[in-house]
Structure 1
Amino acid sequence: MIFDAVLDKVAVWRDRAEVRRQRLQAAEEFVWTWAETVDPDSHEFGAELGCNETNTAANLFRLFHFWNTANQLQKEHQRGPNCNNAEPHPEIVAEDA
């Protein structure tokens, strides 16, 4: 009975680890797929990210060392029509310091 409980607990941990691995893999695939598509003035083509979404996407790009993409996205957002300064934006840095 105790052995079954331990096995159940191990199975839960294994399942959580697998979900976490899948999420990280999806994040990495997203970044690699879309890093080259962000360019200045893409809001003119229908991109409408709010402050929170921009910060989240920029942080994700920075995590995978796509500094230029993150900075372009953030600069574009801050000069575009969707930035209402609902929340502060991280400081734009040229590269990983």
Structure 2
Amino acid sequence: MVFDVVKDRLAVWRDRREVARQRLEAADEFTWVWSDTVNPCSHEFGADLTCRETNTLATLFRLFHHWNTANQLQKEHERGPNCNNAEPHPEIVEEDQ
């Protein structure tokens, strides 16, 4: 009985780890696709991003070491029509520190 409970909890834990692994892999693939396809002009692809969306994407790109894409996206947004400074933007870091 106790063994079955432990076994079930282990299965749930493995399932969660697999989902987390798949999410991380998808995020990594997304950053590569965006960097190769959309960079540097997201407006040409219809991506009119808010300040929050831009900050979120820039953070994601930086986490996966796509510094140039993050910086270009942020610079493009700050010069574009959708930036109303609703949220502060992080400082642009020109290289991985």
TM-score in terms of structure 2 length: 0.92
- Partner deviation per Cα, 1:40-92 (whole Å, 9 max, x = no partner): 4x425522100111011111111111111100000000111111111111100
Indicate the residue corresponding to 1:62 in structure 2.
Answer: 62
Helix, strand or coil at the partner of 2:19: helix
Match of 2:50 in 1: 50
Q: What is the root-mean-square deviation of aligned Cα atoms in Å?
A: 1.2
Per the alignment, residue 38 of structure 1 pairs with 39
Q: Percent identity?
A: 73
1:9 aligns with 2:9: yes
Any gaps of 5 or more consecutive residues in structure 2?
none
Could you tell me which amino acid in structure 1 is paired with residue 83 of structure 2? Answer: C
TM-score where L is the length of structure 1: 0.92
Structure 1 outlier segments of 4+, above 4 Å: none
Whichever residue aligns with residue 96 of structure 1, its letter is D
The answer to whether residue 82 in structure 2 is matched with residue 82 in structure 1 is yes
Partner residue, 2:23? 23
